[in-house]
Structure 1
Amino acid sequence: MSTSAVVPFDLHLPQSEIDDLNRRLATARLPEAETVASRIPAPGPGRWSQGVPLTDLVDFWRTDYSWRNFETRLNEIGQFRTVIDGLGIHFLHRRSSRPKATPLVLTHGWPGSIAEYVDVIDELAEPTDPEAPAFHCVVPSLPGFGFSDKPSGTGWSTEKIAETWVTLMSRFGYDRFAAFGGDWGGVITTILGGRFPDHLIGIHTTYAPGVPGASLDDLTAGERAWAEDAADFWANRAAYAHQQATRPQTIGYGLVDSPVG
């Protein structure tokens, strides 16, 4: 398609893909249960102290979850793709019928996807409260996620993605818009507000990083508790983040080959 074209994207995975997924789930070789399982009943939070607990998650994917239902839901909302700087970007676009609706880009994080927003997008676009604000919602898949293309080289940083979102919104005439995001989506949203103030009406994020090395002396008790929990997270619960930030190719083999992984 042309450089700036926006084309509809109708999703229908081949049944062979789903059959292969089920086969991989059925033949997965699982490790022993976490050793804390012998003294901490499920689903207590302590069961996560050694990693993801051995639960019935695999059985849920095999027997309860319906990809076809989710696939239909995405097609109902409206999916599209466009190429920006040589990379295909996939996104949902749900326009509001309200004439004064505000354009809004919603950015997911890791290990998330556009699935984070499928249950709220209708209420955002067509609020049940007639006095509530309405939004034209654009929900892009980050590069390498979902049905966006995977970069073949380095350079697609959070700064680059924020710049790409400005281009994406402009293709619908949304020269000024609001932005929301959490996790890595929160980082991208923060960059949007900082670098592109002429385009941003405002931002809302569930991710609010503090200033590295700042003193805790002037914090309230609640703020101090948050800061101490954040420090504990990075010290004791963020091994996955260090792995992905330093050697992402290594963990990729297990993640791509195994749906359980």
Structure 2
Amino acid sequence: MLIGWRPHRRSIRIGPVGRSCCTTAKESIMITPFQIPYDADQAADLRGRLARTRWADAVTDDWTMGTERGFLNQLIDFWRDGYDWAQRRDRLNQLPHVRTTVDGHGIHFLHFRRSAQ
């Protein structure tokens, strides 16, 4: 159970995941489990866009005027060819992600239950 948050001098008490919990007489918050999605087509599109990066001519070979060109090339190469999007998604989805809406704002957070002592 999460307890806390005091916007506009009111307390919000958020109950168990998947249940609605009364916060004020007029308001109720529903917490729902969330899994990070993975779309292979979107990942392929991103790799294609990274491959088509149009590089400006380097003004310097160091960091005095922004990101050093060689470092940036290596970073883009890693995101394009070395980063395993599906594997990272699988690892992140092992965490207890949940979503809710408070005052019209969507909130995504991790919900860890206190271990029994």
2:52 partner letter? T
The one of 72, 81, 84 aligned to 1:66: 84
Q: 1:31 to 1:7 in 2, by over 3 A?
A: same
User: Which of the two has higher C-alpha Rg?
Assistant: 2
Match of 1:77 in 2: 95
Assess if the C-alpha contact under 8 Å between 2:47 and 2:81 holds in 1.
no
- More strand as a share of residues: 2
Query: Could you say what the CA RMSD is over the residues aligned between the two structures, in angstroms?
Result: 2.0
Please give the alpha-carbon distance, in whole angstroms, between the structure 1 residues aligned to 2:116 and 2:83.
34
Match of 2:43 in 1: 18
Q: 1:8 to 1:33 in 2, by over 3 A?
A: same
Please give the alpha-carbon distance, in whole angstroms, between the structure 2 residues aligned to 1:96 and 1:32.
54
Structure 1 residues without counterparts, runs of 5 or longer: 38-46, 100-261
- More helix as a share of residues: 1
Assess if the C-alpha contact under 8 Å between 1:25 and 1:58 holds in 2.
yes
Shift of residue 98 of structure 1?
A: 4.8
Equivalences for residues 249-260 of structure 1 within 5 A: none
Equivalences for residues 167-186 of structure 1 within 5 A: none
Assess if the C-alpha contact under 8 Å between 1:34 and 1:53 holds in 2.
no
Please give the alpha-carbon distance, in whole angstroms, between the structure 2 residues aligned to 1:49 and 1:82.
44
Q: 1:30 to 1:82 in 2, by over 3 A?
A: same
SS in 2 for 1:57: helix
Instruction: Find out whether 1:51 has 2:66 as its counterpart.
Output: yes
Match of 1:32 in 2: 57
The one of 91, 101, 124 aligned to 2:109: 91
Match of 1:212 in 2: none
Please give the alpha-carbon distance, in whole angstroms, between the structure 2 residues aligned to 1:90 and 1:6.
10
Please give the alpha-carbon distance, in whole angstroms, between the structure 2 residues aligned to 1:54 and 1:96.
46
Q: 1:78 to 1:32 in 2, by over 3 A?
A: same
Alignment length (residue pairs)? 89
Identity of aligned residues (%): 40
Please give the alpha-carbon distance, in whole angstroms, between the structure 1 residues aligned to 2:83 and 2:113.
28
Shift of residue 10 of structure 1?
A: 1.2
Match of 2:33 in 1: 8
Shift of residue 94 of structure 1?
A: 2.7
Shift of residue 13 of structure 1?
A: 2.0
SS in 1 for 2:47: helix
Q: 1:83 to 1:30 in 2, by over 3 A?
A: same
Equivalences for residues 128-143 of structure 1 within 5 A: none
Shift of residue 97 of structure 1?
A: 2.0
Normalised to the residue count of structure 1, the TM-score between the two structures is: 0.32
Assess if the C-alpha contact under 8 Å between 2:29 and 2:102 holds in 1.
yes
